[in-house]
Structure 1
Amino acid sequence: MPKAISSAAKPARSRKASQADAQTIAQIAPDQSPALLKALHILTRDGRLNQDSRRKLKQVNHLYQFIEPALKALTEKKPNWTLVDHGAGKSYLGFILTDRFVSRHAPQAQVISIERREDLVESARALARDCGFEAQMTFLAQDTQDALESTEIPEQIDITTALHACDTATDDAIRFGLKRQSEYIVVVPCCQAEVASLLRASKTPYSQDPISELWRRPIHTREFGSHLTNTLRCLQLEAHGYQVTVTELVGWEHSLKNELILAQRKGSPQRQAIDRLESLLDRIGLPALKERFFAPELKESLTNA
């Protein structure tokens, strides 16, 4: 027979449950719908958070705090703005944005989630219907490259986002934002293997240039490749006339994929950023990446100016 629970154990268990409830309440914003969080499986059926969902909610809510000022500014001058979220997955970000801001303050705005997995797109559409978000949310079964030429997306976009889009998908999202003249581009890059693999392939032991020591050892190749990738992304955005801010999304104890790049279009293309971008790629020995990290037509327009 199972052992009886002592009377002393019951209060201890009760205190533990109360602490868990307090931690859950602290993570949920006052304007956030617990019912939606349960439907997204961020909250359990009894309204609790597990370790993984707590991390996910913290990341998405922090990203919302960074994006909210842009949403407010856009709503004042253009109530029917459009946001496109790339690599949306289960559309956590889209639902949080719609629940906390769009449905309350910008009912004419549109949130478009791009996700290549059809099953996730269908389940997100069903949830949007259940929540009454059909007018503000659209879900497209496409990858980021498809979205570049998609006629289902408006020609001009106001905000482009990508939360943990893997490897070059982040670059495709940036290219999408540039092509669609997005006023804001907000990305939190995920794994970044392409630059590291090219560094590895071109590596020669004890190169005459001592800068190669930055990536000579395998672990440094990976770390430096990741840092270089985000540096190139920032330069590319600056080349297109964006003001770029780079910061942490959440504390490093919650996620190693934690670098937030927030760019706002401010003015004309920047020749200095293009020159620095080219010089950096030449110095590192990766001129083949010039096509990925800046638009040739931009350089041509400046040359002819």
Structure 2
Amino acid sequence: MKQRKTGAQAGTTTTPAPHALAAEVRPGQSVELLKELHILTRDGKLNQDSRRKLKQVYHLYQFIEKLLQELPAPKSTGLTLADHGAGKSYLGFILYDLFFKNLAGSHIYGIETRAELVDKSRELAARLDFDRMSFLNLTVAESAQSKELPGRIDVVTALHACDTATDDAIAFGLQKNAQAFVLVPCCQAEVARHLSQGKALSLARTPLAELWRHPLHTREMGSQITNVLRCLYLEARGYQVTVTELVGWEHSMKNELILARYTGQRKRGSAERLRAILQEFGLLTLLDTRFTLPEDNGVDNAIPA
């Protein structure tokens, strides 16, 4: 497949980076944007903290750029991307500047619950003439029903969306027939709560429950199990899943990056393992909420009496 040209390849009218920054700032990158995001100082310099931040942003961009280049863009609309829990929209702005800006018809939607951040992002997009960016003051769950978003979204991102917001982003993407997911989960608590509720019964049933007997271990086990379940769920729904590190552990403990690309091949084995894990850990009620399996996998969602 012929790869489309990104902003760095296709040429742009943005202000060129100062010569001293050539090694860190990509060719064609908007220096004004990097200043607005406080990655560059007002006089165009990098300090140690901003250099580390820029490195992390580019590291993540490389993962997403590869995904985007592999996706077929609809001729009539271009690619669409929804960024859930957008915050200050660092990711959305960088993606637009380096990729979407030169991809005709494509659009980025930033979804954020804090109205003041949505307003600031709108102002910045207008100032930079990033006219195919929209910012919506919605929760992830609300966005699935919003008429401000199209019926199809090609790529769904959710970076550090807390607790069940990552699951809401997955549900959103499945509803919108997303071609790809880019997820960095954060603060998973739902499964940990379920583990705590059934702890006494689990300890009596199996010595493996010692893995979550102490509250700290419950939290960590809940986080690990949640991400494993999410990966199996995506595989059961027809996605090829890759799990890797986002950045070095010295930068962040919330470091797991889940990349999923739609293939249409629903894995029956993943559906069966998902249900088995839910049953083993006393989490079968989640089959009715977070991990509803498609019927054609042949896996019964009914919870036994």
TM-score bracket for this pair, using the shorter chain length? 0.7 to 0.9
Contact 1:115 1:142 in 2 (8 A): yes
Q: Which runs of 5+ in 1 are unaligned?
A: 1-20
State the match for 1:197 in structure 2: 193
Match of 1:10 in 2: none
Aligned to 2:25: 28
Between 262-271 and 94-103, the greater mean CA deviation after superposition: 262-271
Range that drifts further, 255-264 or 186-195: 186-195
TM-score norm. by structure 1 comes to 0.85
Question: Over residues 123-174 of structure 1, what are the superposed CA-to-partner deviations in whole Å (9 max), with x where a residue is unaligned?
Answer: 111111111111x211111110101111111111110001111111111001
Q: Name the aligned partner's letter for residue 158 of structure 1.
A: D
- Shift in alpha-carbon separation, 1:274–1:185, aligned structure 2, 3 A: same
Structure 2 Cα separation of the partners of residues 212 and 158 of structure 1: 40
Structure 1, 201-210 or 243-252: larger mean CA deviation: 201-210
Instruction: Indicate if the aligned counterparts of 1:274 and 1:299 stay in contact, CA closer than 8 A.
Output: no
d(CA) in 2 for partners of 1:198, 1:238: 23
Q: Is the 8 A contact 1:82 1:159 kept in 2?
A: yes
Contact 2:272 2:299 in 1 (8 A): no
User: Structure 1 counterpart of 2:37, which letter?
Assistant: L
Q: 1:90 to 1:30 in 2, by over 3 A?
A: same
Q: What SS is found at the alignment partner of 1:124?
A: helix
Compared with structure 1, are the counterparts of its residues 31 and 190 closer, same or farther at alpha carbon in structure 2 (3 Å cutoff)? Answer: farther
**Change in CA separation of 1:256 and 1:52 when aligned onto 2, cut-off 3 Å:** farther
Give the structure-2-normalised TM-score. 0.85
For the residues of structure 1 that align with 2:174 and 2:98, how far apart are their CA atoms? 27
Count how many residue pairs are aligned between Structure 1 and Structure 2.
280
Q: 1:284-295, aligned counterparts within 5 Å?
A: 284-295=281-292
**Runs (5+) with no aligned partner, structure 2:** 1-18, 301-305
Check whether the contact 1:58–1:250 (CA below 8 A) recurs between aligned residues.
no
Q: Please provide the CA RMSD for this pair.
A: 2.2
Normalized per residue, which structure has more helix? 1
Instruction: Return the alpha-carbon distance in structure 2 between the equivalents of residues 284 and 148 of structure 1.
Output: 30
Distance 1:268 1:61 in 2: 31
Q: Deviations over 1:25-66 (max 9, x none)?
A: 654333422210111222222334456544443332211100
Amino acid at match of 1:127: L
- CA distance, structure 1, for counterparts of residue 188 and residue 60 of structure 2: 20
Mapped to 2, the partners of 1:271 and 1:117 lie a distance apart of: 40
CA distance in 1, matches of 2:287, 2:50: 39
CA–CA distance in 1 between the matches of 2:145 and 2:62?
30
Cα distance, 1:183–1:76 mapped onto 2, change above 3 Å: closer
State yes or no: 1:44 paired with 2:13.
no
Residue aligning to 2:98 = 100
Return 195-204 or 251-260, whichever deviates more. Answer: 195-204
Is residue 73–residue 79 contact of structure 2 (8 Å, CA) maintained in 1?
Answer: no
Of 49, 58, 62 in structure 2, the residue corresponding to residue 61 of structure 1 is: 58
Aligned mate of 2:206, from 179, 204, 209: 209
Q: Are the equivalent residues in 1 in contact too, given 2:113–2:137 (CA < 8 A)?
A: yes
Deviations 1:159-193 (A, max 9, x none): 00011111111110011011111000110111111
- Please give the alpha-carbon distance, in whole angstroms, between the structure 1 residues aligned to 2:51 and 2:232: 34
Equivalent residue, structure 2, for 1:126:
123
Q: How far apart are the structure 2 equivalents of 1:221 and 1:48?
A: 44
